[in-house]
Structure 1
């Protein structure tokens, strides 16, 4: 496991409005009729999680169901893989970002939750912001996960900008994927999956793509 935290250098992360229906939208909690995402609600949720993180994910993902839908075998559930000591969820409110911070010019919200399938840890980031391409605000996360430098990510972010909602865009190193999400009301949102170092075989690109799509369907 890489052991990174997604906190960006010198800045609080975005505040996105999400889950207008999170508090009782679908009958089974997730993956039913979808959970509306909004910038304002996601920002509020980031405050509810708090700066130290939480031992539970506030979003109604059903990760085991998503892994099954993606035809990924292995025990799947909440939290990072065994041996990882990350909080189950972390979040940041971009409306409270300091001047000069990455999210200061594009306020919104971010909630990131850890899951696992077998020995593979998966961090699921839901980010929303007032201006387009909120996923670009998580470039420091992609740098840490992939080992690429910021300039190498530019072509990838150009691809995510043109991506269709619900269509995963895979990173060139095979350990991250982005899906554009249409939020309720004004603003822009994206679902970003990043992989930790696996204990044993990790997820392949097709599996990561299918998992991204399955989780997207739970919130759209």
Structure 2
């Protein structure tokens, strides 16, 4: 997904990070750095990223390790693939939303980070909100990535609503996947992966699913 700068439009700018408990790594190498994240801290991260984005992702993902865990070959690392000028991270602090904005009635935050494996760019969105199914707030992103319209996404969002934490729910076009995340404390959270246009072979559905699960394990 190129050109996906945040702030998100309309109902897209969402609520984010109740992801409150990034816990320690696992013996299989899939785990993260164990840096605790609360909704307030994620909003603070959004401020640190700033309105123009940042050259580094503030969240403790190890994308190369996740790609290896998912058995995806190719050089993997931070930032979008070569030739894509997206900032490494973009974010939104919903506590500062103006009246009438999506965050106004559902405060939280959003942090999105770009990574790459081979010629494939992957954007990882972490979103949480006080009300259920925060991933639905990212529908405009899914429309842009998939080429589907909002009505076509409704069945997918019904599936994510029923999804189990840690179980990726793949989109029908194969270029996005959502994993429900259980935050520490109250609220609702989700991890959404969206794919950019690849230079060469892109990720298959099984690879995207495995990558989503590996990144989820780093923050759960």
Both structures adopt the same fold (TM-score exceeding 0.5): yes
TM-aligned CA distance change 1:198 to 1:129, over 3 Å: same
CA distance in 2, matches of 1:56, 1:13: 20
CA distance in 1, matches of 2:28, 2:55: 21
CA distance in 2, matches of 1:54, 1:205: 29
CA distance in 2, matches of 1:12, 1:140: 6
Deviates most, 77-86 or 5-14: 5-14
Contact 2:54 2:87 survives alignment (8 Å):
yes
Q: Secondary structure at the match of 1:198?
A: coil
| Shift, 1:23, TM fit | 12
Deviates most, 166-175 or 46-55: 46-55
TM-aligned CA distance change 1:76 to 1:130, over 3 Å: same
| Shift, 1:6, TM fit | 3.9
TM-aligned CA distance change 1:24 to 1:33, over 3 Å: closer
| Shift, 1:208, TM fit | 0.2
TM-aligned CA distance change 1:111 to 1:206, over 3 Å: same
Deviates most, 19-28 or 140-149: 19-28
Deviates most, 55-64 or 25-34: 25-34
| Shift, 1:133, TM fit | 0.6
Contact 2:18 2:108 survives alignment (8 Å):
no
**Residue 2 of structure 2: aligned partner:** 2
CA distance in 1, matches of 2:212, 2:128: 17
Contact 1:3 1:84 survives alignment (8 Å):
no
CA distance in 2, matches of 1:41, 1:29: 26
TM-aligned CA distance change 1:20 to 1:184, over 3 Å: closer
TM-aligned CA distance change 1:190 to 1:105, over 3 Å: same
Contact 1:12 1:101 survives alignment (8 Å):
no
Q: After superposition, what is the alpha-carbon deviation per residue over 1:22-77, rounded to whole angstroms, capped at 9, x for unaligned? A: 79999999824744443222112111211111000000100000000000000000
TM-aligned CA distance change 1:89 to 1:115, over 3 Å: same
Deviates most, 45-54 or 200-209: 45-54
TM-aligned CA distance change 1:111 to 1:197, over 3 Å: same
**TM-score calculated relative to the size of structure 2:** 0.91
Segments of 5+ residues of structure 1 without an aligned counterpart are: none
**TM-score calculated relative to the size of structure 1:** 0.91
TM-aligned CA distance change 1:37 to 1:8, over 3 Å: same
Segments of 5+ residues of structure 2 without an aligned counterpart are: none
Deviates most, 32-41 or 77-86: 32-41
CA distance in 2, matches of 1:191, 1:19: 10
CA RMSD of aligned residues (A): 2.7
Q: Secondary structure at the match of 2:10?
A: coil
| Shift, 1:3, TM fit | 2.6
Q: After superposition, what is the alpha-carbon deviation per residue over 1:131-159, rounded to whole angstroms, capped at 9, x for unaligned? A: 11110111111010011111111111110
Aligned length: 220
